[in-house]
Amino acid sequence: MTSGVEAEYDLLDVDLYVDGDPETVFRTLRAHQPVYWQADPGFFAITTHAGVGEALRAVEALSSAAGTDVEDMPDDWPRSILHMDPPRHTKVRKLLGPEFAPRSMAALEAQIRGIVRQLLGSIPFDEEFDFAATVADRLPMLVIGRLIGIPEADDERFKEWNTISIVEEPFGPTVRGIVREMVEYFAWLRERRLEDPQDDIVSRLAHARIDGEPLDDVEFFGNLRTLMTGGQDTTSNLISGGVLELVRHPEAWTALQSDPGLLPVAIEEMIRYIPQVMYLARRALIDITVEGTTMPAGSTVALFFVSANRDEQVFADPGRFEIARSPNPHLGFGFGRHFCIGAPLARLEARIMFEELLQTIGQIEVHDIHRLRSNIFPGIDRLRVVASAA
């Protein structure tokens, strides 16, 4: 542990992320307590880029099987590839991988561009509207919902389920009720697809076999829930957050309008700068030492990506939003065994959205921002703006 003044922080305090100054807190921790012990509820927080990267590589020492929250996942909870270790993780991920492979993404580009143009075509120029609700939230719902096989008429139901799940106690009664509703919904949809398969993920998972056996209910429902949540909320926050930063940095907006070829690099900076997931937890199977701190077997270990992506040892002037930043070894999608399986889709949706948006909108004024009260998914729930045509 680096010498220096030690202080106590509550890294699970929602107010820290909504109204507080998390950047100063994490900068202090990186300098003085890179692996920070929070006594309540009892976990080690890794805050540096090097430390988080080391933990992500320590796949034999740190397990995902108890879930990615600092509280252990209940035994009866739906589980996805996020909550699995090999060999099961490897087999299920291999099953889902082709859905997000380059060939699959290329086939979606025209469809996504059509959706984006339709959404942007409905913008009421020179009038205040909620960009998050009408554009940023709608695109990922329309894309991932159709890939999964959910009828468009049910999109709003899933958006409501996701939002409530984010702001409520992770395994509390409210979320447990929502999970029960989602399980019932997906069970109904699975029965339909078993009788009449379609070109969608529900059909492929319903008919899939691993070692000759179908996915059990826990895995079937868990992976669909993860795909739906991850495919909606993180991408919509990337888009809303990206718009907000471009408004705050008009020189970047102008540069991207003049040269859309800068967008791929700019989007990587959005992924680094705009938190998608604050942290993911692991459980130590054996004693493990990171950044000079030994965490004993049985410990809960939280990897704070929000801090790692602002590490001054890796990123020059990390608090600056720099669309030309290169190299940019951010951990916004993690890496290694649990690298975000939907990352190619998120990047594709963001690129197409900003390509079209920068041609359609000349200027945006932000009138109101409201963030979700969450210490894991700090999404923008409302972004009221006035836009002028390009």
Domain membership flag for residue 261: yes
* CA atoms of 222 and 77, how far apart (whole Å): 8
Residue 107, pLDDT score: 95
Domain membership flag for residue 36: yes
Domains contained in the chain, number: 1
pLDDT band at 19 (very low <50, low <70, confident <90, very high): confident
User: What CATH number is associated with residue 277?
Assistant: 1.10.630.10
Compute and round to an integer the Cα radius of gyration of the chain. Answer: 21
Q: pLDDT tens across 161-204, in order?
A: 999 999 999 999 999 999 999 999 999 999 999 999 999 999 99
pLDDT of residue 110 exceeding 70: yes
What average pLDDT does this structure show over 16-36?
95
Residue 378, pLDDT score: 80
Domain membership flag for residue 6: no
Q: Which helix (H) or strand (E) holds 333?
A: none
Residue 3, pLDDT score: 41
- 333 and 343 Cβ atoms separated by less than 8 Å: yes
185 Cβ contact list (under 8 Å, min separation 6): 154, 157
pLDDT of residue 4 exceeding 60: no
What is the identity of the amino acid at 80?
Answer: S
For 4, 58, 219, 333, the CA distances from 289, given in Å and listed in that order, are 20, 10, 32, 24
Q: pLDDT tens across 344-363, in order?
A: 999 999 999 999 999 999 99
Residue 170, pLDDT score: 92
Domain membership flag for residue 2: no
Domain membership flag for residue 341: yes
* Structural domain of 249: 14-389
Domain membership flag for residue 345: yes
pLDDT of residue 2 exceeding 50: no
What average pLDDT does this structure show over 52-80?
95
Sequence-ordered strand ranges (E) for the chain: 35-38, 43-46, 62-63, 128-130, 279-284, 288-290, 293-295, 300-304, 361-371, 380-389
Across all residues in the chain, what is the average pLDDT?
A: 95
Among 77-81, 352-356, 376-380, the minimum mean pLDDT is found in: 376-380
Domain membership flag for residue 7: no
Domain membership flag for residue 4: no
* CA atoms of 98 and 375, how far apart (whole Å): 32
